[in-house]
Structure 1
C-alpha cells in the first residue's frame, strides 16, 4: 500500500491527514469517497476515483476514465509521468505525488551488500586469494 494514498483516504475524516494536512482541496475530494472505494483500497489496493479526481483538479493529470480493475498505483504513476504541468522553479503537486509513490514502491535496498560473504569466510575459516 502507498502511504500517500492512505493519507488521502484518511483525510476524509477531517481537514486533512499526513501529507494532505491543511489541504482543503484534498479534504473536499476525499469526502466524496464512498464506503466501497475505501474498502477496495484497504483490501485490494484499488486507487479511489476521488484521488484521481483530486489529481485532475490540481492539474497533475489530464481528465480520463479508468475502469476500476485498472486503477492501480502503477497506472497512477504512468499518468503522472505524462503530467501536463511541469515547473522549472519548483515541484508541482503531481511531481510530489509521483516521487512519493515511487519511494513507496521501490525496495529499500536496491543493491545487496556483499558483507555477508566476508563474514561467511571468517566463520568457516575459508581463506581468500
Structure 2
C-alpha cells in the first residue's frame, strides 16, 4: 500500500463529502486524522473519512452522531475494527490511482465500467491504473 497516495485520495474524497454536506447545510470538520460530521450526512455519504492510517476508532466515534440510525465511516486505510461499536463492514474496496504523466490509453468502446472482480482490477492495471490500498465502509 502507498500510504501517501492513499492520503491524497482520502483527502480529496473528504473534500467532496464536505462540499456535498455543506450544500445540505451540514458543516463537517477537518482534523489531522479525519474529516467528520457531528450530524447525519446526506444518504450515501459517510459521517467520517479517515485521513491517516494511525487514527483511533474512539476518536472517530466520538465525533459523529451515533444516536441517529445509519452512521457510517469510510476507513480510507482499512485499519479500523468497529465491530465492537456496533458497526458492520458494508463493503471493502481498493483505491486506484493513474499517474498523470502516463499517456492516455486507447479509447475503449465503453469508457467507464465497474470493477467487480480481481480480473477487472488486473485489466485496469494493464491500462495504467495502480492499486494503492484497501478501504472499508462501515455501517452501524
Relative contact order higher in (CA < 8 Å, ≥ 6 apart): 2
Between Structure 1 and Structure 2, the one with more strand by share is 2
Between Structure 1 and Structure 2, the one with more helix by share is 1
Over alpha carbons, which structure has the higher Rg? 1
TM-score, normalised relative to structure 1: 0.29
TM-score, normalised relative to structure 2: 0.28
